[in-house]
Amino acid sequence: MAVLQVDVEAIGRNTEVVAGMLARHGIDLVGVTKACLGDARVGAAMLAGGAVALADTRDQNLQRLRATLPGVELHRIYLPPLNGFFEPGNITYLSSLEGARAVAARSGTGRKRQRVMIHLETGDLRDGVPREDLVALVSAVVEDERLQLEGLSTNYACFEGTRDGVRESLRAIASAALELRAAGFPVERVSGGNSSILWLVQRGETLPQEITELRCGEALLFGHDALCYEELPGCRRDACLLRVEVLEMYTKPAVGGRRRRLVLGIGRQDLGSGAIRFVHEGLSEIGRSADYLVVEQAEVRSMPKVGDFVQMIPSYEALVAAWTSPYVERIVR
């Protein structure tokens, strides 16, 4: 069985670095735990490293975090469903009138108001209320006695996004916050995006002063930004490692001649289509099927043999798939 090894000390170190980067701009860090199924050990490492809150997308993960880390501010950054139960966070993100009604209904009569962030579309073209509909949605939230407006949020480079667009995304949400405040709405917090923003921070660019916090997961787990994938100085890149067995090794026909190929015991059902990077020198992926990863091996001094294990660093997408695969053992320590 493939093994996913997770070093919480390294994640804590990465969090400390990112939190320090943001603190110099007066920005708080919210740690995102969705890639690790809301694992409380990972969440605790993020909090110890300087995250002020944790965020997740799945109800079961929020329940797990709440049970294990009581008192921690939890953000539900997944849009509320309109049918059936959902677990609200201490702060719940929404982007529609229907979503606002769903969150309000979870509050119930005589219960504490549900704190909400209005999620604004700023160029990712995925989730978020369009700018022209923002005031109407904010007005509806403020007028509902079951809801408490906490602020604005946005997302960028999860669905679409470019280097130039990330700046425009920040300008758009900062402008929206100023507009709402000028109209008398209580916009206390502005969540300006995710780990993609760290590309700008690393270059020393000044972020709009309206931004109060960022939500980061990928940077804390892998030590790089989520737009250009550049290493963040002082961060560890090996906090999450996959250890996979070599099941077969032969020299087989290949384009340009015969090549040494390995078959590894992990496949598409464990990695999805997420990229991986080998720690061992001389290995490169040729392709993958549902159950196997086919690897080509260059002629190097040290070569793995059948029965050996090779290590690889998964991408964020591959990590999500591996963590949720029943065929991958998880060791978190």
DSSP string, 179-198: HHHHTT----EEE--SGGGH
> Which pLDDT score, from 0 to 100, does residue 110 have?
62
Whole-number Å distance between alpha carbons of 46 and 106: 29
Alpha carbon of 257 to those of 187, 252, 281: distances in Å? 64, 9, 21
Contacts 24+ apart (CB under 8 A), 79-84: 79/119, 79/127, 80/106
Distances in Å between the alpha carbon of 13 and those of 42, 50, 193, 233? 12, 10, 21, 11
pTM: 0.95
The span from the CA of 214 to the CA of 31, in Å, is 9
The pLDDT score that the predictor gives to residue 281 is: 86
Q: Residue 167: exposed, middle, or buried by beta-carbon count in 10 A (0-12, 13-18, 19+)?
A: middle
- pLDDT tens digits for the chain (333 residues)? 999 999 999 999 999 999 999 999 999 999 999 999 999 999 999 999 999 999 999 999 999 999 999 999 999 999 999 998 999 999 999 999 999 999 999 876 567 899 999 999 999 999 999 999 999 999 999 999 999 999 999 999 999 988 889 999 999 999 999 999 999 999 999 999 999 999 999 999 999 999 999 999 999 999 999 999 999 999 999 999 999 999 999 988 877 778 899 999 999 999 999 999 999 888 999 999 999 999 998 876 678 999 999 999 999 999 999 999 999 999 999
Domains and CATH numbers, the chain: 8-222 (3.20.20.10), 240-332 (2.40.37.10)
Output helix, strand, coil percentages for the chain, rounded to the nearest 5: 30, 30, 40
Check if the beta carbon of residue 33 is closer than 8 Å to that of residue 61. Answer: yes
In this prediction, residue 163 carries a pLDDT of: 86
Q: Are 178 and 210 in contact (CB under 8 A)?
A: yes
Q: What is the DSSP letter of 203?
A: T
Tokens of 291: 């159950």
User: Under a CB-based contact definition with an 8 Å cutoff, are residues 120 and 172 in contact?
Assistant: yes
* Whole-angstrom distance, CA of residue 253 vs CA of residue 305: 19
The predicted structure's pLDDT at residue 108:
64
